[in-house]
Amino acid sequence: MNLKQHNLSVIIPAAGAGKRMERDIPKIMIKIGERTILEHTIRAFYHSDIYEMIIPVSGSVRKDVEIIIRDLQAPFPIRLVEGGKERQDSVWNALKIISNDCDIVAVHDAARPFFDPAIIHKSYDLLEKHSGVIAAVPATYTMKSVIDETVEKTLDRSALWQVNTPQIFQTDKLVKAYKKAYKDGFYGTDDAMLIEHDGGTVAVVRDIPHNIKITTPSDLIIAKHFIQRDKGVIMHRIGQGYDVHRLMKGPKLILGGVEIPYDKGLDGHSDADVLVHAVMDAILGALALGDIGKHFPDNDEQYKNADSIMLLGKVCELMADRGYVISNIDATLVLQKPKVAPYINKMRNNIADALQLHISAVSVKATTEEGLGFTGREEGVAAMATVLMTGI
């Protein structure tokens, strides 16, 4: 399908009672600061290119939601539809009235206001090959299969992902999957499961760590922290990194995860990617976690010839575990030869992907030292990086 010109419909099922929140009012009507949870979620789509939004709601809150929509004056039309007994029924009610002009549909939890809107735009290319795309994060805990409170086996967490929303689909494929599900009497735990049941394929886009679903009172405390952050109560950290490796005959020259044609490469225990090492050191420094030698020692065989982009992903996990995200990175390569300008954007892309960033947050520059010093004499390559990160 050609997604160059598309119309996006967003469905936000909001008919659930939210009993685990232990409140007398539906969860979507609980306020965080001056706005309800539902309002925060709707507003999070303001900077996305949306054709329409459809919200299935229960009759008990319909008038309240109508008031919210009226006061919001959103930059896209919002329609309400009656919610169903189950979430799947609510989404189906919305699909029945979706505009014929909408070829893409995103389904998003009403109580998940801190998602990254870029997930939707990242999905468009993947939808050329797949019926759907879902936001998800890799499992970080040890996962076990348990039956009757007894461990059956430990699962390989490397293949397990926690599924979030938004979930984005080709509209006709999702409608087809829903029709088959109802024909078969099948209910799934998410929309992607219906696509799978219909034989379609679903791709995963790595999600941001703080895309939480507000389900319990403790989630509400975390959500209030995020709102305070957005009001300017923010913790910043700055880190700087520096690395240097010797040029020599034999190894490949890897910079920013890109193999660059040259008659010399960098000497090191891993792939000696001096640029990525500087970025890693800057992140670890900002977190006060030491340097890369502490985490990936050069006497450890598991890191022999290791892919530095992969190691950068592990550093990203350390950062996420401590509640920080990167605002921007500025890095500089210092080398006399070869010329690396044609590869800069690929380097930026590789670093951005490993850190779950948009490429606009990653700057990579290259300079020579006019024949001076060890880089000028083509004996080695140096790299410097500075990172600004923000507490979440």
CA atoms of 239 and 342, how far apart (whole Å): 28
Res 3: pLDDT:
46
Res 136: pLDDT:
93
User: Residues 335-376: pLDDT tens digits?
Assistant: 999 999 999 999 999 999 999 888 889 999 999 988 898 988
Joined together, the tokens standing for residue 191 give: 């929309």
Instruction: Assess whether pLDDT exceeds 80 at residue 235.
Output: no
- Give the largest CA-CA distance in the chain: 76
Nearest CA to 364 among 379, 350, 380? 350
Res 1: pLDDT:
47
Helices (H) and strands (E) in the chain, counts: 12, 18
User: Residues 120-171: pLDDT tens digits?
Assistant: 988 999 999 999 999 999 988 888 999 998 999 999 988 899 999 999 999 9
Res 233: pLDDT:
47
| Residue 250: φ, ψ to 5° | 120, -65
Instruction: Assess whether pLDDT exceeds 60 at residue 231.
Output: no
Q: Please say whether the beta carbons of 322 and 361 come within 8 A.
A: no
% of the chain at pLDDT higher than 70:
94
Q: Please say whether the beta carbons of 98 and 86 come within 8 A.
A: no
CA atoms of 166 and 184, how far apart (whole Å): 25
Lowest mean pLDDT, pick from 29-33, 82-86, 108-112: 29-33
Question: Which domains are present in the chain?
Answer: 8-230 (3.90.550.10), 236-391 (3.30.1330.50)
Instruction: Assess whether pLDDT exceeds 60 at residue 234.
Output: no
Mean pLDDT, range 231-237, rounded to an integer: 63
This prediction has a pTM of 0.60
User: Residues 316-345: pLDDT tens digits?
Assistant: 888 877 778 898 999 999 999 999 999 999
Res 392: pLDDT:
57
Mean pLDDT, range 202-228, rounded to an integer: 83
pLDDT band of residue 268 (cuts 50, 70, 90) is confident
The three-class DSSP label of residue 96 is helix
Say how many C-beta atoms besides its own lie within 10 A of residue 212's C-beta. Answer: 18
Res 352: pLDDT:
92
Residue with the two structure tokens 């939004």: 53
Res 20: pLDDT:
63
Instruction: Assess whether pLDDT exceeds 50 at residue 306.
Output: yes
